[in-house]
Amino acid sequence: MNLILPQQRSRIREDITEAVGDVPIVRLRRVASVCASSRCYLKLESCNPGGSIKEKNATVLVNQAEEAGLLRPGGTIIESSSGNFGVGLAIVGAARGYRVIIVVDAKTTQAFRRMLKAYGAELAEVSEVDAAGSMQKARIALATRLTETIPGGWYPCQHYNPKNPDAHALFTAREIEDAFGEDLDALVVGISTGGQMSGLARYLKPRYPKLQLVGVDVQGSVIFDPAPAPYKMTGIGLSFRPPNLDYDAIDKAYVVPENLAYSMCHALAQREGLLLGSSTGAIVAAGLHLAQHMPPGSRIAMINPDRGDRYLETIYDLDWLKDNGFTLIPAEHMDVAIEQLCICDPVR
């Protein structure tokens, strides 16, 4: 494995994949009043070389495929992705000399498209919409067909690959352990493919049985709510229940409205100096609600999946927000908005 555990790190890397995972954890202080009484931390996976946590999955899955002989020199990496995992694969593909094809859809932003092309990836697009207003199933179907027709093609299939959680069991969980030891009360994680939550749970639950693992989804997704509805957010949410998600490992769950998530992103930028991705707003809103209902002094860690620069034309664009029916909640009203969130049953 090319990822390096914290205790093994020096400042010199042999290639870009070895720099993945070396990220800071920062305390939130001004975004909500509960930050004064609880210790709320954000693990900045946005500080990975390509700007997201999905570079861990990409590196580990490519390494495993190479070791198993599934991906050979001159081969082609094919994946369905709305952005970050595709970028992670494009980065690893560029470093290792593979052709990369990413299947995208209309929700893939121009920023992600430009990033993928800059790393040398090719884009294949779908337009078929399912009953939930999603194109995820169509993307997966096209990625499968491409893999069957392109010689040397390898499809990691992040949504269904049982090895997808490995990166977080092997590395992210141990980074958290190295930072906090046993002095952590809750860990808040966004849910999409289920890889992060399941990998973290695999390593942390046996070691820290009192640790609360909290899953976060976006309103409209069916991961925790069986009623689908269209939504704009990328990074979390699915139109189907993810096979890789260990629902039994989740102690609490939240379904966060997009408007609150995007408002929290603006508040984090203006009150903490953190320009982060759209799903981070949902994760932080849920984490702060959790903190409001835990004893003072509790330590809550939240995982920030990606940077905000790739969302400058969407959630950080006031015209885009207005055109899509979103009205920002003023930062001074954030405490009330957070309090209105509800904890839901993760296994219903």
The amino acid that residue 304 corresponds to is N
What angle do helix axes 110-118 and 84-96 make, rounded to 10 degrees? Answer: 10
To the query of whether residue 54 is one of the catalytic residues in this protein, the response is yes
Is 299 in contact with 212 (CB distance < 8 Å)?
A: no
Is the Cα dihedral 51, 54, 60, 63 positive or negative? negative
Residue 189: strand pairing partners: 215
Query: Which one of the listed residues 54, 107, 137, 163 is annotated catalytic?
Result: 54
**Exposure of 315 in the CB half-sphere (CA atoms within 13 A):** 30
The number of angstroms, rounded, from the C-alpha of 112 to the middle of its chain's C-alpha atoms is: 15
The number of helices, as runs of H, and strands, as runs of E, in the chain is: 11, 11
The number of angstroms, rounded, from the C-alpha of 203 to the middle of its chain's C-alpha atoms is: 18
d(CA 189, CA 292) in angstroms, rounded, equals 17
CB neighbour class for 148 (10 Å; exposed up to 12, middle 13-18, buried from 19): exposed
Active site residues: 54
